[in-house]
Amino acid sequence: MQWLKLLIYFISILILNTNAEFERDPNGYIAYCPCMGRFGNQADHFLGSLAFAQALNRTLILPPWVEYRKGEMRSRQVPFDTYFEVEPLQEFHRVILMSDFMEHLADEVWPANERIAFCYMERKSLQQEKNNPDEPNCHAKDGNPFGPFWDTYSIDFVGSEFYGPLHFDVRHSSIATKWQENYKADKWPVLAFTGAPASFPVQLENRELQRYLVWSPKYREAAREFIRTVLPRGAFIGLHLRNGIDWVRACEHIKDSQQLFASPQCLGYKNERGELYQELCMPTKESIIRQLKRTIKNVRQSQPKNEVKSVFVASDSNHMIAELTNALSRMDISVHKLPEDDPYLDLAILGQSNHFIGNCISSYSAFVKRERDTHGFPSYFWSFPKEKERQQSKPHEEL
């Protein structure tokens, strides 16, 4: 019987520990749907939401990443920790996986009949019959990815709360205090936003939070394995070529914009390093090859002991493998890409390259740039600075 007592003892310890791990935060929680854009946009929003949660002193519920697959009508929700570790985030602020929150705490903290959706102002439903002028609503689950996102955790809302004119700029105002005054944690245990409580692109001050986003062991290992087994020994340059049809269309907005998507990362948040121009968005094949060769030459001169042996290309569409291989053949440099499309593994490998050339306007490139900045790894952008300006400054470079 002794062994039975022991078994009961260990099981009760286990249960106690599990519950302790999921103790209720009396300061409340923040939940949101990463309902805008694909990974790069969601990552920008994530950093802002993390800063927002910290400023309000509420635990951030880590949402799954929202993905869109060709031919599928509904978004897929991929658990946050598939790609990134939870623990390093805890160093900055309290966070909990959405699945853990829903499984272990929601019944007590956020009962089904008290779930209110937060939006700035009324959001009209696409289904006219749902819009009642006497009862404005967030329609938080209307459309894709909104519905599938909350459905993943069987969340329905029983009401709407319009938080306007409050905003999310906790870095430049005392708005956090206003949120706390308006929404006390005992009455509003969970602020559940229809979209991220953050701006896009990520604010300058929140860029450094990237260092708490650490790749999961699976991706770290896969990146290391690819670099070790596929690339030749020696330094490699990572390239991001954003050139799919959606991008071609997006670049048409260049002519009537001051900034586009992630462009503040090279132009500066107040355009202090220049205005937008077409090649920044869509560099020509010739200029890509020219800039790559120039980068290789510069690395040869500045780091003769760590010669570039290969190039790794990530792209959403055209990797230019034949053109690049041809252009670099006399330099004995090989050109590589992943055998199968994997946006996350591409990112993880780009983050590890010795040098990186990305697209200044792409938030996907911006993710890589921020990660590399946290490690002090060098990054550059296609066609930046502007070719003319670069040539003008050339005599200085050579001095």
Where is 334: in which H helix or E strand? strand 334-336
343 binds ligand GFB (CB under 6 A): yes
> Considering the rule CB under 6 A, would residue 72 count as an interface residue with ligand GFB?
no
Cis peptide before 201 (omega within 30 of 0): yes
d(CA 216, CA 84): 5
Is residue 144 involved in binding ligand GFB (CB under 6 A)? no
Smallest distance from ligand GFB to CB 334, Å = 19
- The verdict on 346 binding ligand GFB (CB under 6 A) reads yes
Query: Which residues, including other chains, have CB under 8 Å from residue 118's CB and lie 6 or more apart?
Result: 138, 160, 161, 163, 191, 192, 193, 194
| By CB under 6 A, residue 362 contacts ligand GFB | yes
Q: How far is the CB of 280 from ligand GFB (least distance, A)?
A: 13
Sign of CA dihedral 340, 343, 345, 347: positive
Specify the residue for token string 């990054």: 379
CB of 41 to ligand GFB, least distance (A): 4
One symbol per residue from 26 to 55: x for binding ligand GFB (CB under 6 A), - otherwise; what is it? -----------xxxxx--------------
Q: Which residue is nearest to ligand GFB (CB)?
A: 40
User: Of the two residues 97 and 250, which places its CB atom closer to ligand GFB in the complex?
Assistant: 250
The region of 177-185, 230-238, 242-250, 385-393 touching ligand GFB under the rule CB under 6 A is 242-250
Q: Helix H segments across 106-200?
A: 106-109, 146-151, 175-182
Q: Is 247 exposed, middle or buried (0-12, 13-18, 19+ CB in 10 A)?
A: middle
Q: Least CB distance from residue 200 to ligand GFB, whole Å? A: 8
**Closer CB to ligand GFB, 56 or 314, in the complex:** 314
Letters for 293-332 (x = contact with ligand GFB by CB under 6 A, - = none) are ---------------------xxx----------------
Check if the beta carbon of residue 344 is closer than 8 Å to that of residue 222.
Answer: no
| 261 contributes a contact to ligand GFB by CB under 6 A | yes
CB of 317 to ligand GFB, least distance (A): 8
C-alpha 213/C-alpha 230 separation (Å) is: 26
Q: Kindly provide the residue ranges of all beta strands, DSSP E only, lying in 46-166, ordered along the sequence.
A: 59-62, 65-67, 76-78, 95-97, 116-119, 159-162
Phi and psi at 288, nearest 5°, equal: -65, -45
At closest approach, how far in Å is the CB of 264 from ligand GFB? 13
Residue 240 interacts with ligand GFB (CB under 6 A)?
Answer: yes
Residue 250 touches ligand GFB, criterion: CB under 6 A: yes
246 binds ligand GFB (CB under 6 A): yes
Interhelix angle 363-375/343-352, nearest 10 degrees: 40
Stretch of residues binding ligand GFB (CB under 6 A), selected from 111-119, 140-148, 209-217, 362-370: 362-370
HSE-CB at 92 with a 13 A cutoff on CA atoms is 24
Q: Which residues bind ligand GFB (CB under 6 A)?
A: 37-41, 240, 242, 246-247, 250, 261-262, 314-316, 341-343, 346, 362-364
